Amino acid sequence: MLFVFGVDPMDLTIEQLAKMIDHTVLKPDTKKSKIKQLCDEALLYNFGAVCINPVHVEYAAELLKDSSVKVCCVVGFPLGATLSEVKAFEAKKAVELGAHEIDMVMNVGAHRDNDYELVQSDMEAVVRASGDAEVKVILETGLMRDDEMIKACEIAVDAGVDFVKTSTGFGPMGATPHDVRIMRETVGPDIGVKAAGGIRNFKDAWKLIEAGANRLGTSAGVGIVEDFRWQQYSDAWMQPDKHCWDCPSRLANLNTQPKDVYLWYKQRCVTCEYRHENIFND
Pairing of strands 101-105, 163-165: unpaired
The C-alpha atoms of residue 109 and residue 112 are separated, in whole angstroms, by 5
Q: Determine which one of 22, 103, 179, 204 is catalytic.
A: 103
Quick check: 237 binds other proteins (CB under 8 A)? yes
For other proteins, the binding residue among 27, 31, 65, 229 (CB under 8 A) is: 229
Q: Which 38-57 residues touch other proteins, going by CB under 8 A?
A: 41
Contact string (CB under 8 A) for other proteins, positions 160-199, x = contact: ----------------------------------------
Q: Is 194 a catalytic residue?
A: yes
Q: Which of 35, 75, 85, 38 is nearest to 54 (CA)?
A: 75
User: Of the two residues 132 and 282, which places its CB atom closer to other proteins in the complex?
Assistant: 282
Q: Which 73-132 residues touch other proteins, going by CB under 8 A?
A: none
Q: Is 165 a catalytic residue?
A: yes
Pairing of strands 21-24, 49-52: parallel
Q: Determine which one of 70, 87, 92, 165 is catalytic.
A: 165
Quick check: 247 binds other proteins (CB under 8 A)? no
Quick check: 242 binds other proteins (CB under 8 A)? yes
Quick check: 3 binds other proteins (CB under 8 A)? no
Quick check: 203 binds other proteins (CB under 8 A)? yes
The C-alpha atoms of residue 158 and residue 161 are separated, in whole angstroms, by 8
Residue ranges in 30-115 assigned as alpha helix (H): 32-45, 57-64, 84-97, 108-112
CB 219 within 8 A of CB 22: no
For other proteins, the binding residue among 201, 214, 256, 278 (CB under 8 A) is: 201
CA 21, 191, 108, 210 torsion: positive or negative?
A: negative
Q: Is 103 a catalytic residue?
A: yes
Residues whose CB is less than 8 angstroms from the CB of residue 118 and which lie 6 or more positions away in sequence, other chains included: 107, 110
- Residues assigned a catalytic role: 103, 165, 194
- For other proteins, the binding residues (CB under 8 A) are 41, 200-204, 222-223, 226-227, 229-230, 232-237, 239, 241-242, 245, 280-282
